[in-house]
Amino acid sequence: MTDIAPAATETAALAAIEPLEDTLKQPAVAGGPGALPPAALDARDVSAWFGGHQVLDRVTLAMPAGRVTALIGPSGCGKSTFLRTLNRMHELIPAAALAGEVLLDGEDIYGAGRRLTDARRQIGMVFQKPNPFPAMSIYDNVVAGLRLTGVRTPRRTKDDLVEESLTRAGLWKEVSSRLRQPGGALSGGQQQRLCIARALAVRPRVLLMDEPCSALDPTSTRRVEETIHELASEVTVVIVTHNMQQAARVSQQCAFFLAEQGAPGGIVEHGPTEAVFGSPQDERTADYVAGRFG
């Protein structure tokens, strides 16, 4: 992932967890009381620029509801940029521009009258480096959105939300007896699952993950991968990873990105993960998944 200004990342993280009040009023379905079912994301002809530098050229990709889609490809081919276009984070970067559409269950998140916060609420994001609020308690990290908006919420609702979110993130059993301890006191892998819980607390319909395990040891990586498995039927997941084995383990569908000779990035091949890894149609995909470049 190419770093963007920390302030922008933080603003986005906070924006993603802000509008909780409406979310809590939504009707109950799978994924906890108040959650809506996972949504399909459809990117259509998405192009992206940083100033005069075009980094994506007309990328089209359907990311089915309730499935895990992995984005793979060599460094600099635009995977993270593409991910950021999916919840309107790209536009936080100065001089960034975009063309194309991103449909969330058929509605363009960039459409006239669509609010940035709507997209962020429904499409959460987990970053490469775990970024809990380190001095804040585990409990308060999960309900950070409520605190930020100043919404007065009954204690019981908050307690339920914390338990539900930590359970879905696979962390509840490990932290249920120490919810008042600071988030920063957890291990790296636990911190990443805390960030997943924080993202889940606003009950998103899609969860974007940008190399969520790259800062973690193998055991923590396994645990986060299990969490992704457990979440998959409740929330649509789109994950950027450099780890081919991880892409094969966690995803049902896969897209291979490439930017050739200074050209903007695009998708060379996509489809069921088994097919992309087992019988790639394009030679460049075959070379990449076999580790011959990148």
Ligand X SMILES: Nc1ncnc2c1ncn2[C@@H]1O[C@H](COP(=O)(O)OP(=O)(O)OP(=O)(O)O)[C@@H](O)[C@H]1O
What residues line the site for ligand X (CB under 6 A)? 1-2, 4, 50, 55, 73, 75-81, 93
What is the bridge-based pairing of β-strands 53-63 and 41-50?
antiparallel
Cα–Cα distance measured from residue 132 to residue 138, given in angstroms and rounded to the nearest whole number: 9
Closest CA to 45 of 112, 110, 92: 110
Provide, rounded to whole angstroms, the least separation between the CB of residue 55 and ligand X.
4
**Contact present, 217 and 237 (Cβ < 8 Å):** no
**Residues with Cβ within 8 Å of residue 264, at least 6 apart in sequence:** 47, 54, 55, 56, 57, 78
CA 188 to centroid of chain Cα atoms: 18
Cα–Cα distance measured from residue 199 to residue 168, given in angstroms and rounded to the nearest whole number: 11
Nearer to ligand X, 75 or 245 (CB): 75
Nearer to ligand X, 23 or 87 (CB): 87
Nearer to ligand X, 8 or 185 (CB): 8
Provide, rounded to whole angstroms, the least separation between the CB of residue 85 and ligand X.
10
Nearer to ligand X, 24 or 93 (CB): 93
**Residues with Cβ within 8 Å of residue 224, at least 6 apart in sequence:** 189, 192, 193, 196, 212, 213, 216
Nearer to ligand X, 80 or 273 (CB): 80
Cα–Cα distance measured from residue 101 to residue 46, given in angstroms and rounded to the nearest whole number: 6
Nearer to ligand X, 55 or 202 (CB): 55
| Helices 188-200 + 218-231 axis angle, to 10 | 20
Nearer to ligand X, 27 or 52 (CB): 52
Torsion of CA 31, 151, 130, 180, to 10 degrees: -90
Sheet holding 253-258, edge to edge: 123-126, 206-210, 236-240, 68-72, 253-258, 266-272
Provide, rounded to whole angstroms, the least separation between the CB of residue 265 and ligand X.
6
